[in-house]
Amino acid sequence: MEQVIANGLYLGAQYALIALGLTLIFALMNVLNFAHGQMYVLGGFITYTVYGQLGLPFVVALLASGMTLAVIGALMEKYLFRTVIKRSHREESTMLLAAATAFFFDAVILLIFGEKQRGVPKIVKGVFNTDGLIMPYDRIAVGALAIVFIAAFILYMQYSRPGRAMRALAQDRVAAQLMGVAVERYSMIGFAMGAMLAGIVGGLLVTITGVNSGIGGPISIKAFMMVMIGGAGVVGGAIAGGFILGMMESVGLTVLREYGDVTYLVIFAALMVFLSIRPNGLMGKPWG
Partner 1 sequence: MTRVAKAASISAFLAVVFILVPVLIIATGRTDLYYTLTSVALLSIASAGVWLTFFIGRINIGQGAYALMGGYVSAILVVNYGVSFWLTLPLAGLFCAAASILIGYPILRLRGVYFAMVTLVLTEVARLLALALPITNGAKGMVSIPLPGALSIFGVTIIPNFAGMQSPRLAFYLLAVTMMVLCFAAMYRLVNSRIGKLCQSLQQNEELASSIGVNIAYLRVIAYAISSFFGGVAGAIFAAISQSIYPSSFTVTDSINFMLNCFFGGLGYVFGPMLGTLVLYFGWDLLFQTGKFQLLIYSTLMIVLMLFLPNGLLSLGDLLRKRGSNNG
Footprint of partner 1 on this chain (CB under 8 A)?
26, 32, 34, 80, 83-84, 87-90, 92-93, 95-97, 99-101, 103-104, 106-108, 110-111, 217, 221, 224-225, 227-228, 232, 259, 261-262, 264-265, 268-269, 271-273, 275-276, 279-281, 284, 286-288
Q: How far is the CB of 236 from partner 1 (least distance, A)?
A: 17
Per-residue DSSP letters for 207-265? TTT-B-GGGHHHHHHHHHHHHHHH-TT-HHHHHHHHHHHHHHHHHHHHHTGGGTTHHHH
CB-wise, 30 or 67, nearer to partner 1? 30
Q: How far is the CB of 233 from partner 1 (least distance, A)?
A: 9
8 A C-beta contact, residue 242 and residue 13 = yes
CB-wise, 80 or 134, nearer to partner 1? 80
8 A C-beta contact, residue 199 and residue 66 = yes
CA 8 to chain CA centroid, Å, is 17
Q: How far is CA 175 from CA 8, 82, 104, 169, 189, in A?
A: 40, 19, 35, 8, 19
Give the three-class secondary structure for 267: helix
Q: How far is the CB of 144 from partner 1 (least distance, A)?
A: 30
CB-wise, 26 or 51, nearer to partner 1? 26
CB-wise, 140 or 283, nearer to partner 1? 283
d(CA 169, CA 105): 28
Phi, psi at 135, each rounded to 5°: -150, 120
CB-wise, 49 or 94, nearer to partner 1? 94
CB-wise, 30 or 209, nearer to partner 1? 30
CB-wise, 207 or 263, nearer to partner 1? 263
Q: How far is the CB of 255 from partner 1 (least distance, A)?
A: 16
Q: How far is the CB of 219 from partner 1 (least distance, A)?
A: 13
CB-wise, 246 or 281, nearer to partner 1? 281
8 A C-beta contact, residue 199 and residue 42 = yes
Per-residue DSSP letters for 57-120? -HHHHHHHHHHHHHHHHHHIIIIIIHHHHHH-SSTTHHHHHHHHHHHHHHHHHHHHH-SS-B--
Q: How far is the CB of 171 from partner 1 (least distance, A)?
A: 17
Give the three-class secondary structure for 52: helix
Q: How far is the CB of 136 from partner 1 (least distance, A)?
A: 30
Among 183, 286, 159, residue whose Cα is nearest residue 233: 286
Q: How far is the CB of 251 from partner 1 (least distance, A)?
A: 18
